[in-house]
């Protein structure tokens, strides 16, 4: 696929404000709709207020902000070997790091997001959403992928996912790559426009990625097939771009990743990986 047909009546569906410019920056101006799902971050008033300000300044009129509250399940799956569920990934209470951790809300919002997206995707022919592994490994990204994927047969659109991965999500990517076809041609990212949007998020104090992030020159997307990619057409791991992290990222442990939590995560990861085969 050359990537041009992906632009026909395209909607971009991403979880959080700033995901759209990070994982679909090459097609923002071409999209008929840019749908961002999450709004308030309970307990994080600065980010919640910043998102309201940033969305008011967003430079494209195609924005549709759903404003569902976040669930606080980030990094609560047993990465790298996670437990997949129909509603996303299993959030382990023992691995919770956010004060608004709410696994019940996470489960319930699967249906809530389906109902919110169904009318918004009427008449759309192509949808870019998060991938089955959530790019760098985010539980809310994975859930939103599953929500959008669950609507494909009913609504008849083609689903595409960003060809990005991080070490944290590599095992989940390899487990799901059989459902992804060959990537599109490389689509150029408008660096100036990406920076313009990023500066809005930074100025309103709701940018959640690395301040020093530099976009690649191009990006690609993978077609998703519910029953698996056609024979010989599955994407290969080497065709998935590795996300650019700061040089010292791996050397600096995450503030929440103490020894006790790390051991819990490793044990749960081993057990879930064993059950997954």
- CATH label of the domain that carries residue 130: 3.40.50
What would the pLDDT profile of 257-268 be if each residue is shown by its tens digit? 889 999 999 999
Confidence category of residue 247, pLDDT binned at 50, 70, 90? confident
Calculate the alpha carbon distances from 70 to 35, 130, 219, 259 in Å.
15, 16, 27, 27
Give the pLDDT score at 254.
80
> What's the whole-model pTM score?
0.96
% of the chain surpassing 90 pLDDT: 92
Residue 209 has pLDDT above 60, yes or no: yes
SS (H, E, C) 82-124: CCEECCEECCCHHHCCCCCCCHHHHHHHHHHHHHHHHHHCCCC
> What pLDDT score does 276 carry?
76
Range of the domain at 92: 5-276
Q: What is the pLDDT of residue 58?
A: 98
pLDDT (mean) for 46-62: 98
How many domains does the chain divide into?
Answer: 1
Query: In which band, very low, low, confident or very high, does the pLDDT at 277 lie, cut at 50, 70 and 90?
Result: low
The DSSP 8-state label assigned to residue 211 in this structure reads T
Q: Is pLDDT of 87 > 60? A: yes
Mean pLDDT (the chain, rounded): 96
Q: Indicate whether 1 pLDDT > 70.
A: no
Judged against a pLDDT cut of 70, whether residue 77 lies above it is answered with yes
pLDDT of the residue at 252: 79
What are the CB-based long-range contacts (under 8 Å, 24+) for 95-100?
Answer: 95/261, 95/264, 95/265, 95/268, 96/72, 97/256, 97/261, 98/43, 98/72, 98/73, 98/74, 99/43, 99/72, 100/41, 100/42, 100/43, 100/44, 100/70, 100/71, 100/72
Identify the three-state secondary structure at position 50: helix
CB 28 within 8 A of CB 193: yes
Structure-block tokens of residue 235: 């994407």
Q: Are strands 88-89 and 84-85 parallel, antiparallel or unpaired?
A: antiparallel
């Amino acid at each position: 696929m050359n990537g041009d047909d992906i632009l026909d009546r395209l909607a971009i569906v991403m979880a959080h404000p700033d995901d759209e410019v990070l994982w679909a920056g090459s097609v923002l101006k071409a999209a008929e709709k840019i749908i961002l799902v999450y709004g308030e971050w309970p307990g994080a008033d600065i980010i919640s207020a910043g998102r309201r300000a940033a969305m008011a300044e967003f430079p494209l009129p195609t924005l549709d902000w759903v404003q569902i509250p976040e669930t606080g399940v980030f990094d609560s799956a047993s990465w790298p070997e996670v437990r997949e569920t129909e509603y996303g990934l299993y959030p382990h209470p023992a691995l919770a790091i956010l004060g608004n951790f709410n696994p019940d809300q996470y489960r319930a919002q699967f249906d809530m997001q389906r109902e919110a997206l169904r009318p918004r995707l009427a008449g759309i022919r192509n949808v870019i959403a998060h991938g089955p592994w959530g790019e760098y490994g985010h539980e809310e990204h994975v859930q939103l992928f599953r929500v959008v994927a669950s609507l494909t047969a009913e609504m008849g659109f083609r689903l595409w996912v960003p060809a990005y991965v991080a070490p944290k999500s590599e095992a989940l990517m390899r487990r799901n790559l059989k459902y992804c076809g060959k990537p599109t041609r490389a689509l150029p990212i408008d660096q100036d426009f990406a920076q313009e949007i990023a500066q809005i998020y930074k100025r309103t104090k709701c940018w959640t990625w690395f301040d020093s992030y530099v976009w690649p020159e191009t990006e690609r997307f993978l077609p998703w097939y519910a029953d698996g990619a056609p024979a010989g057409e599955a994407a290969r791991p080497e065709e998935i771009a590795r996300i650019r992290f700061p040089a010292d990222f791996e050397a600096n442990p995450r503030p929440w990743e103490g020894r006790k939590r790390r051991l819990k995560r490793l044990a749960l990861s081993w057990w879930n990986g064993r059950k997954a085969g």
